Amino acid sequence: MRHWFRLLIRNSFFQVGMGIFVVMILGGLILRALETGKITEGENSFWWAIVTMTTVGYGDFAPSTSEGRIFAVLVMFAGISLTAMFTAVISSIFVAKRIREEKGLENVNVKDHIILCGWNRNADKIIDSIQYLSEGRRKDLVLINDLDEEEIARLKTRYRNIRLHFVAGDFTSEQILQRANLEEAETAMIVPSDVDDTIHNPDEKTILAALTIKGMEPNIRLIAYLHSRENLTHIKRANADEVVISDDFGAYMLASHVMDPGIPQTMNNLLDNVSKNRFKRVDIPSEFVGRSFDDLFTHFRKKNNSIVVGVFAEDENLGIGEVLSADSSALDAFIERKLKEGGISLQEESKITTVINPDNNYKIKDGERAIIIP
């Protein structure tokens, strides 16, 4: 009780409020002793005191004696001082809140947002792609990292079509994730951080963050980026919905430049977020559910000259990572090695199932969406 009382006494709002209350009470009582007439009746003297303090000056009551007028001047100056203090307290609160927001120390109050955990040289490209692919819809993007204020200010200036928010701290901490409002988030992304020189294996922190995020919000969509394929099973055990591995695409593109010139250039165009011929996903009209892929292909070709390259849908199938045991054992390593030797990719665990260039008689299912080249 004493602790709360001390906090109350030290509160600036309480101090200014008590000052206004005391001046109003004393002003009304002293005015009654100095004046006579209607101004001293009932609560009129207290009304006069508060009106005089706030410099409103309705003029319905006014002191008539010299003593009363001298006292009114004192009440006026006391009121001006207290009003100025009250304004300063409110201003300081807003300024302090703004400073805390810029430092990433405030809670983020947004919903259906994207959380980007970590920071590296590719993070700028990720934000750039999100801004472009949002197609005019302003998305809320919360960054959790240890960047300085100048860098965050630069990002907010550069990406004006995205509402950027910043939370400073370790994205493996539950408290930091709560500050980013993980509970109301739509998607969380984890990228290996290269701003912390103390981290020897960034994938370990990515896996720990995935376990923390899924432990707090099992239903959130989680996308993780790994440096090493060897950690794929571990991140899948953490229930990451999608995993991107740094060597998946680069090695193929490098070899294609040598063995299949023209293929990498085409892929670059299809995957470039500013290209008019990039891959796009679109909804399939409901009347095509149950009809053939050939009908759907013809529809988009005639509608806007687009090419349908495939369809995709959410898949809740059990993944290989979920079948293996919870600890990293010699048996798990043996199974993984044999699966790789057999040409079975662990990435088949993805919850997004795609069918590329299906047979013309392939029947479109409810819930599927199309992948097109405009």
Tens digit of pLDDT for each residue in 2-34?
777 777 777 777 888 888 888 889 988 998 888
- With 0-12 CB in 10 A as exposed, 13-18 as middle and 19+ as buried, what is 21? exposed
* Strand ranges of the sheet holding 221-226, from the earlier edge strand across to the other edge: 163-168, 140-145, 114-117, 187-190, 221-226, 242-245
pTM over 0.75: no
The residue ranges of the chain whose pLDDT is under 50 are: 317-319, 322-323, 325-328, 344-350
Q: In b/e form, how buried is each residue of 176-200, taking b as 16+ CB within 10 angstroms? A: bbebbbbeebebbbbbbbeeeeeee
Instruction: Please give the Cα distance from 259 to 108 (Å, whole number).
Output: 50
pLDDT at 349: 46
* Distance from chain centroid for Cα 214: 16
CATH code for residues 103-245 = 3.40.50.720
Domain limits, the chain: 2-102, 103-245
The 10s digit of each residue's pLDDT in 312-366 is 987 654 445 544 544 445 655 666 665 555 554 444 444 678 889 999 899 999 8
Q: By three-state DSSP, how is residue 122 classified?
A: coil
d(CA 257, CA 280): 25
Alpha helices in 103-186 (DSSP H): 123-133, 149-158, 174-179
Backbone angles phi, psi at 116, to 5 degrees: -110, 110
N-terminal to C-terminal alpha carbon distance within the chain: 68
2-102 fold? Helix Hairpins (1.10.287)
Look at residue 347 in the predicted model and tell me its pLDDT.
45
3-state secondary structure 52-92: HHCCCCCCCCCCCCHHHHHHHHHHHHHHHHHHHHHHHHHHH
Cα–Cα distance, 168 to 106 (Å, whole number): 9
